[in-house]
Amino acid sequence: MICDSKVCVKYLGWYLWIVRFINGGHLLNGLAGPVCMSAPPLISATWFPASQRTTATSLALLSGNVGFALGFVLGNVYYYAES
């Protein structure tokens, strides 16, 4: 790559900030993942008998994913309803 040194340094500086920002997002996602994924089994082990734990855990994990999907759908519905 042939370029002026000032342009390369400026571009490299922005690139490093973007990489740090993305890595910070990955770090936050990695810290939140175990909390979100370990709560349903803990709740089902506390509240339900052994014969119902599998169903309770799977429904709790599924409800989180359905909530994410509804967030995408309802966000678009709300955005286009305002226009």
Structure tokens at 30: 């990695």
User: Could you tell me which of 40, 35, 73 has the C-alpha nearest to residue 57?
Assistant: 40
- Evaluated on CA atoms 4, 5, 6, 10, the torsion sign reads positive
Ordered per-residue pLDDT tens for the chain, 83 residues: 555 555 555 666 677 778 888 889 999 989 988 888 888 899 999 999 999 999 999 999 899 889 889 999 998 888 888 66
Look at residue 79 in the predicted model and tell me its pLDDT: 82
Look at residue 9 in the predicted model and tell me its pLDDT: 56
Q: Give 5: exposed, middle or buried? Use CB within 10 Å, 0-12, 13-18, 19+.
A: exposed
For the chain, which residues make up each domain, given as ranges?
Answer: 5-82
